[in-house]
A and B are shown apart, each in its own frame.
Chain A
Amino acid sequence: MYVAVKGGEKAIDAAHAQLRRERRGPLDVPELSLAQISFQLKLAVDRVMAEASLYCPPLAALAVKQACGDLQEAVFLLRAYRTTLPRFGSSQPVDTSSMRVSRRISATWKDLPGGQILGPTFDYTHRLLDRSLSRTEGAPDTSAPLTEEKLNVKNLPRAMSALNAEGLLEPAADTSSCREVADLTRRPLELPADGPEDRPVRLQTLARADEGFLLGMAYSTQRGFGAVHPFTGELRRGFVELVITPEELDFPIVAGELEMTECDTVSRYTGSAMPPCLTRGYGLVFGNNERKAISMSIVDRALRAKELKEPVTGPAQNPEFVLLHGDNVDASGFVQHIKLPHYVDFQAELSLIRSLREAGKKAADASPSRGERS
């Protein structure tokens, strides 16, 4: 049992003051602005929004600054802020097919209708440190190339539709009987959550899960702890419109544009639940977050083991394991609470160990022959 402590206010205040000084760093170094964080550390901001499950780039940038760049701490700050806001409603499903893409690739179709658009990417870079970036003045020219050529970047055809036309994809799930959309933030997860009807709540859990955790889970299935060896059917990133029907009006309106990353993976299926086909996994996350979108789609597919009658051989196929351990606010709180004062609990541990030793010693003293026999 945890017994609370009191006091320490002065030291705690001083510790927080020291944290503020450390956050600011040397005063002769210019202070970071939120705009600098939003634009120049954008991927950190995007990661914080995805894991906090709250899309708001300026507030995520503020959280990154306040947390001194500790992204999990920033996620915690944004999650905590979210609890102070009322819910206005739910959106219509975002139409990722009409996304205005900045990047869109397929690893399965070379001649993808609409084209493979690399967009800004770390892929194919040599991962050599670029010393020119250590200067902040006279930085290299980053202006856009002058071109008159324009690509159509909206309403690109979906890569998977060709497979669908040939009938090689698994049949689409019947969604006509779907109940209300399960919402983790309103009702806690109910286990076992391993049926096809639980896929929506699993996806919500994965969309807000820690990127590192999801990456490790996805990697484990590829290495053999599970049986998902997928291809990226299509990966797209860009802007989608947020459409809501506000309570003041009886028709839907566009409230703004969100940046999202979507990943559609396919993997070979030769099990017994249906004829040989390609099964699909799905990832959809806020911001520019490819590693997470891919990991999410692999783990989504792995978690369908029961539905697809696959042997469960790895942790990534176990919904309880994956869904209950991927949230970094939960995990970090529970793991890190052990650094807070546990003086009374620890005294109890000590006295338990002491009494066990004492009892052991007494028993040994009572039977002196034991020592001779050994």
Chain B
Amino acid sequence: MNTQDRRQQYMRLLSLAPAEELEHFLAGLQLPPWKLLRGPESGLVMVRGRINAEGALFNVGEALVTRCVVTLPGDTCGCGYVLGENPRHAELAALCDALWQKEAYAPMFDTELKPRLEKMLQEREEQAGKEAAPTKVDFFTLVRGEDK
């Protein structure tokens, strides 16, 4: 997997994870000093849809997101985008992104943080599957007299 695919994959995890989880993980680490290059600041992203999920694009409405860019000594930049008004989450996501690019941190992030976040997402999906299962319905159509 190339660097960009890898980064895309973990940035997804960082955005979808609860902020407390990142806070908790980073609290146990010796962190280099980081500087805020941008934000954290809130803004809008226009959410697009596709007509019938396959046709032309259209604008559905905007979503509020918070973004943050941090820099580590040595000029490694990390970027975080999260849904909602969550400055702390955006900053932690950006910091994790920056650290994940550092050789000194990457192996630990790969072996400790990544599986933990992946497990949370998997559990969320499994929970949805468990909630849905009993509501799966099998309707049947009634046979009417004239069909006999």
Contacts and interface: CB of A to CB of B under 8 A. Distances in A.
Q: Do A and B bind each other?
A: yes
Interface of A: 49-50, 53-59, 82, 85-97, 100-103, 110, 115-120, 144-145, 147-154, 158, 160, 172-173, 175, 178, 181-185, 199-201, 203-204, 207-208, 238, 241-242, 244, 246, 248-249, 251-258, 260, 262, 264, 280, 282, 284-286
B15 A256 contact: yes
Interface of B: 4, 7-8, 11-12, 15-16, 38, 41-65, 67, 69, 77, 79, 81-85, 124-126, 128-141
A85 B64 contact: yes
Contacts of B59: 90, 181-185, 200, 204, 207
A85 B81 contact: no
B51 A282 contact: yes
B12 to A, nearest CB: 4
B55 A175 contact: yes
Nearest to A104: B132
Contact of B52 (A119, A145, A260, A280): A280
A90 B57 CA distance: 11
Contact of A55 (B42, B56, B63, B129): B63
Contacts of A175: 55-57
A257 B140 CA distance: 35
Contacts of A286: 47, 60-61
Contacts, number: 234
Contacts of B139: 110, 116
Contacts of A182: 58-59
B135 A207 contact: no
B28 to A, nearest CB: 25
Task: From A207, A262, A264, name the one whose CB has the most chain B CB atoms within 10 angstroms.
Answer: A207
A242 B45 contact: yes
B51 A199 contact: yes
A204 B62 CA distance: 11
Contacts of A173: 51, 55-56
A209 to B, nearest CB: 11
A332 to B, nearest CB: 18
B76 to A, nearest CB: 13
B81 A244 contact: yes
Contacts of A255: 15, 45, 65, 81-83
A54 B61 contact: yes
A90 B48 contact: yes
B61 A208 contact: yes
B3 to A, nearest CB: 10
Contact of A102 (B43, B46, B131): B131
B102 to A, nearest CB: 18
Contact of A54 (B4, B7, B12, B64): B64
Contacts of B50: 93
A181 B56 CA distance: 9
12 contacts: A87-B46, A90-B45, A91-B48, A96-B49, A101-B132, A118-B136, A149-B133, A151-B129, A183-B59, A200-B57, A246-B81, A257-B83
Contacts of A58: 84-85
Given A175-B55, A282-B52, A110 B141 contact: yes
A249 B5 CA distance: 13
A118 B137 contact: yes
Contact of B83 (A100, A201, A242): A242
Contacts of A54: 44, 61-64
A20 B142 CA distance: 57
Contacts of B15: 253-256
Contact of B85 (A56, A183, A258): A56
A54 to B, nearest CB: 5
A102 to B, nearest CB: 6
Given A53-B62, A145-B134, A149-B133, A100 B47 contact: no
Task: From A91, A116, A119, A262, name the one whose CB has the most chain B CB atoms within 10 angstroms.
Answer: A91
Task: From B84, B132, B141, name the one whose CB has the most chain A CB atoms within 10 angstroms.
Answer: B132
B91 to A, nearest CB: 14
Contacts of B77: 248
Given A59-B85, A242-B47, A262-B53, A100 B125 contact: yes
A203 B56 CA distance: 11
Given A54-B61, A183-B59, A258 B137 contact: no
A257 B141 CA distance: 37
A200 B51 contact: yes
